[in-house]
Chain A
């Protein structure tokens, strides 16, 4: 066996100090297999060593939370003995290197996190961030990522019901691919990962193990440099067909009582799954690697333990259930192998060719993982901006905004995703939140992903609050009650105090918002080291929100009807700092982020939901990037009906990005205004709907057809140019 040299330690991404901890944990020098296992378990990706202490500040409890962070995914109560299970996860580093497979396996991984717990996946979402459209790589990355997400999700047969996609030069060297899955399970059929029952068989199911993805977790825990594409072999290859079989086989077996514990093999594959199961169950596992189904010959123990081959699961079965379980997996043509047993040693013991090749005490492997309090400095406040000139021409400004990459229609993307399979999509992509009916009921789950990274850069605390608040608004706008969030925290190198300051600030803002909105975090993922040659991405804490509506027939979309009154809920102070108006029209990313009044968010959200429940609204839309006029224009385009607005035409009023605002449409304006007054909510009439043009007080009318054409053109045109 080769001696472990400092070079080998460094190649494994461990510091000299961390290696000393390894030796202490082992009570001796590790061998290469053991070192490999420590290196992935103690990687940033698996150990959360820079983020753990800060994540602990997030609220994670509410009466409807069944299982918070720490399992494969979070679980909430959605009534009638049913649960929604969901999580969002990043696949940033692999997607940059190999966009199709990186994105595809990102979808595969998050699906497994959800069905591992006994849920049938019912909806996928994704939050994507790319570099500047002018950057030579961007087009190739957009095309590959979208095809990869579609290629996987479409084949597995889970609808992709929405998401977001923005562009910014800060992502030129590090794109973000964050995928979210929501599943539905019966509350009495939820599966956890804690191994139990000394002597119980440990079973491997799914695809065979190959040499792909070795060190993926380590790669995802380091910065990129020019040679990043040489890391291509660390990207795994996905097989959505096998995943579909695995879903059906696992759910079929879960209907019986054969499974004691189950864990998918995600990052760090067999290592993290076996360590996780042993650690949670406070037991040991003994695995015979000769029994692991292998795709290639001559694999070493090291390679098998670090492989990230996809579509694999590890289970502990009830004694004697092997044959029953094997029959199910045989039916679905999947590999099934008993590879070990649960022991009382609290050690992970691996045998290969008859020899013990690793013997690691599990408690120190997990509990003694580094937990750093990295130095962090708060982001200095951005100075206020000087007064912003009003637009020379309101129509031109609106058209410019509707055609800008961040606001342009993303139809080109979501039409490549099957968003209707499973026959329960009642809120298609393009609205505030996607919605799926809970199969066989009248209930609906509203799902959205949001964050404004520019706000987070300018003011991490307010940006963190805003991201949570925007998901709350997007869900409320459909009529659903926001219940809980998952998050995917994408940041640069945490060893830099200013980056760590962004992280700490965003967490603080998110925690405040979650507490104020009764909207806990139930699962999540952290992706650090999103840097290339020292250039960090914008701080991007993507939030995935889930809400529940009791009767889908009560839901509203963004498309209003003819002859209705448009009302704005909330107040406009004309905040233009960090707005899209500033960026697109005045070419500036200056100023402070809008302030988020969480009490107003809550009050206004509850007010809008009440109006929807009382059938007083025909449409509702949250006001976010681009401001009020963009929100109204988006409603007009969805409705294919015009509107006539009598509003103040200052830049701040039309395009300011003040928070806690909605535009709602009603046929009973008096009732809405009376209820607003009674509730102490500011509501003001904007105008009426009808005709085929959008008319803004004193300006020329723009046809809705022109708005749509402008909004729909940018992305397909961009993708079509060579």
Chain B
């Protein structure tokens, strides 16, 4: 699998994502600097966690307008798989590739801990290795992970099977309908607040993140 990880100034989970991809998939991803507007041909684009451009205007807002994202949006339209993790999810909602917005956590505090959730869809390139409603635990680390969309959008997400992961009796941020991660309509783009790249080995406290990367390889 040929993967690329986008690096913005302020990204800080770019290396973690690259390590996870290499460990699970066996090949090193290319690191793509935010100022580059030509992307190589890729099977997977990862928008990593962190604080792109300091998240100063609004989490993900400036990254959403960066040169490299114009190209990412094009690729996403063409069906290239795009995985946005944490700040990456925020960037994807800012660009409109994914609906809704990520607001400040209901607690108003940053939260970093393991969270129980369910994988709700098994028919996507990101989740085909999970069982239906499989319970997993993946850590979150964010200040703005409180997913919000209007009722019609939420209903549409549910009807189309676009809710990828849902917190299971353990909502850390107040997100609507316990949403932890969503797909685009075609399920070629996944945005999620939890960090699967942080649970790829028992020494790190879990392996539930591995299946996402294995699913991507299997879907090729």
On A, residues with C-beta under 8 Å from B are: 147, 150-151, 154-157, 239-242, 244-245, 332-333, 414-426, 428, 437, 552-553
By a CB distance below 8 angstroms, the chain A residues around B203 are: 426, 437, 552-553
Give the complex CA separation of A191 and B161 in angstroms.
Answer: 54
Residue contact A416 to B110, C-beta cutoff 8 Å: yes
State which of B15, B16, B112 has its C-beta within 8 Å of the C-beta of A416: B112
Task: Tell me whether A423 and B9 are in contact (CB under 8 A).
Answer: no
Q: Nearest CB to that of B56 among chain A residues?
A: A241
Q: Does residue B136 face the partner (Cβ distance < 8 Å to A)?
A: no
Asked if A156 and B12 make an inter-chain contact with CB atoms under 8 angstroms apart, the answer reads yes
Q: Which of these, B12, B110, B139, contacts A150 with CB under 8 Å?
A: B110
- The answer, yes or no, to whether B126 is at the interface (CB within 8 Å) is no
Cβ–Cβ contact A332 & B16, under 8 A: no
Task: Tell me the complex Cα distance, A425–B51, Å.
Answer: 20
Q: Which of A156, A414, A416, A421 has the most CB of B within 10 A?
A: A421
The CA of A685 and the CA of B110, in the complex, are separated in Å by 43
Q: Which residues of A have CB within 8 Å of B79? A: none
Task: Kindly state whether residue B70 has any CB partner on chain A within 8 Å.
Answer: no
Once the chains bind, are A420 and B10 in contact (CB under 8 Å)? no
B109 within 8 A of A: yes
A-B pairs under 8 A by CB, number: 83
Across the A-B interface, give the 5 residue pairs with the lowest CB-CB distance, nearest first: A157-B12, A241-B54, A423-B16, A418-B141, A155-B51
Contacts of A426 in B (CB 8 A): 203-204
B-side contacts of A151, CB under 8 Å: 110
Docked-complex contact B112 and A419, CB < 8 angstroms? yes
Interface residues on chain B, size class: 20 to 34
- Cβ of B24 within 8 Å of any chain A Cβ, yes or no, is no
Would you call B19 an interface residue if the criterion is a C-beta within 8 Å of the partner chain's C-beta atoms?
Answer: yes
Residues of A within 8 A of B109 (CB): 147, 416
Assess whether B10 is in contact with A415, with CB atoms less than 8 Å apart.
no
The minimal Cβ–Cβ distance linking A239 to chain B, given in whole angstroms, is: 7
* Assembled-state Cα–Cα distance A523/B112 (Å): 30
Of all chain B residues, the one with the shortest Cβ separation from A248 is: B9
Flag if A244 contacts B51 (CB, 8 Å): yes
Bound state CA distance, A156 and B51, in angstroms? 8
Q: How far is the CA of A416 from the CA of B111 in the complex (A)?
A: 5
Q: Does B77 belong to the interface (CB within 8 Å)?
A: no
The A-contacting residues of B in range 145-172, CB under 8 angstroms, are none
Report which of B19, B111, B195, B205 forms a contact with A415, defined as CB distance below 8 A. Answer: B111
Any A CB within 8 A of the CB of B198: yes
Most buried by B among A147, A157, A418, A428: A418
Residues of A within 8 A of B143 (CB): 154
Q: Is B4 an interface residue (CB 8 A)?
A: no
Pairs A–B under 8 Å by Cβ, sample size 5: A150-B110, A154-B110, A241-B55, A244-B10, A416-B111
Evaluate contact between B112 and A420: CB separation under 8 angstroms: yes
Chain A residues with CB under 8 Å of B50's CB are 157
Beta-carbon contacts under 8 Å, B186-205 to A:
195, 197-198, 200, 203-205
Chain A residue with minimal CB distance to B23? Answer: A423
User: Within the complex, what minimum Cβ distance (angstroms) separates B52 from chain A?
Assistant: 9
A240 contact set on B, CB distance < 8 A = 51, 54
A329 vs B204: C-alpha distance when bound (angstroms): 34
Q: B10 to A241, Cβ gap below 8 A?
A: yes
The answer to whether B12 and A244 touch across the interface, beta carbons within 8 angstroms, is: yes
Q: Is B13 an interface residue (CB 8 A)?
A: yes
| CB–CB B15/A422 < 8 A | yes
Chain B residues near A422: list those with CB within 8 A: 15-16
From A411, which residue of chain B is reached at the shortest CB distance?
A: B113
Q: Give Cα A553–Cα B16 distance, bound, in whole angstroms.
A: 20
Q: Indicate whether B20 reaches chain A with its CB closer than 8 angstroms.
A: yes
A154-B141, A244-B10, A244-B51 known; A423 vs B198 contact (CB < 8 Å): yes
Verify A333–B9 contact, CB threshold 8 A.
yes
The winner among B51, B112, B195 for most chain A CB atoms within 10 A is: B112
| Complex Cα gap A425–B198 (Å) | 9
Complex-state Cα separation, A428 to B198, whole angstroms: 13
Measured between C-beta atoms, what is the minimum distance from B200 to chain A in Å? 8
CA–CA, A150 to B113, complex, Å?
14
* B112 adjacent to A423 (CB under 8 Å): no
Judging by beta carbons under 8 Å apart, are A421 and B139 in contact? Answer: no
Q: Which residue of A lies closest to B51 (CB)?
A: A155
Contact B54 A239 (CB under 8 A): yes
Q: How far is the CB of B95 from chain A (nearest CB, A)?
A: 21
Whole-angstrom distance from the CB of A319 to the nearest CB of chain B?
29
Least distance between B53 CB and chain A CB atoms (Å):
7
When chains A and B are docked, how far (Å) is the Cα of A528 from the Cα of B156? 62
* Other A-B pairs beyond A154-B110, A155-B55, 7, CB < 8 Å: A147-B110, A157-B13, A241-B10, A416-B111, A417-B112, A418-B110, A425-B204
* CB closest residue in chain A, given B112: A418
Select from chain B the residue with minimum beta-carbon distance to A146.
Answer: B109
Is the Cβ of B205 less than 8 Å from the Cβ of A428? yes
Contact A420 B9 (CB under 8 A): no
Task: List chain A residues, Cβ under 8 A from B197.
Answer: 423
Chain B nearest CB, measured from A561 CB (Å): 15
Instruction: Kindly state the separation between the CA atoms of A157 and B16 in the bound complex, as whole angstroms.
Output: 11
Most buried by B among A151, A332, A428: A428
Tell me, in angstroms, the Cα distance from A317 to B55 when the chains sit together. Answer: 33
Q: Taking the nearest CB of chain B, how far is it from the CB of A630, in angstroms?
A: 24
**B89 to chain A: closest CB distance in Å?**
16
| Complex interface: chain B residues within 8 A of A421 (CB) | 12-13, 16, 49, 141, 198
Q: How far is the CA of A51 from the CA of B157 in the complex (A)?
A: 65
CB-based nearest A residue for B9: A245
| CB of A151 to closest CB in B, whole Å | 8
- Shortest CB-to-CB span from A15 to chain B, Å, is 44
Q: How far is the CB of B24 from chain A (nearest CB, A)?
A: 13
* Chain A positions within 8 Å of B20 at CB level: 423
Most buried by A among B16, B53, B197: B16
Nearest CB in chain A: distance from B209 CB, A:
10
Complex CA gap A606/B146 in Å reads 48
Interface string of B44-79 (1 = CB under 8 A from A): 000001110111100000000000000000000000
B111 contacts across to A, CB distance below 8 A: 415-416
Closest chain A residue, CB of each to CB of B205:
A428
Partner of A155, one of B10, B139, B198, B200: B10
Most buried by A among B19, B20, B141: B141
Report A-chain residues with C-beta under 8 Å of the C-beta of B53: 241
The reply to whether A332 and B9 contact each other, CB–CB distance below 8 Å, is yes
Set of chain A residues within 8 Å of B200, measured between Cβ atoms? 423
- Report A-chain residues with C-beta under 8 Å of the C-beta of B16: 421-423
Please state if B54 and A420 are interface contacts (CB–CB under 8 Å).
Answer: no
| Residues of chain A contacted by B141 (CB below 8 angstroms) | 154, 418, 420-421
Q: How far is the CA of A473 from the CA of B16 in the complex (A)?
A: 31
* Cα separation A553 to B205 with both chains bound (whole Å): 12
In whole angstroms, what is the CA distance A150 to B109 when docked? Answer: 10
A-contact bits for B1-29, CB 8 A (1 contact / 0 none): 00000000110110110011000000000
Contacts of A418 in B (CB 8 A): 110, 112, 141
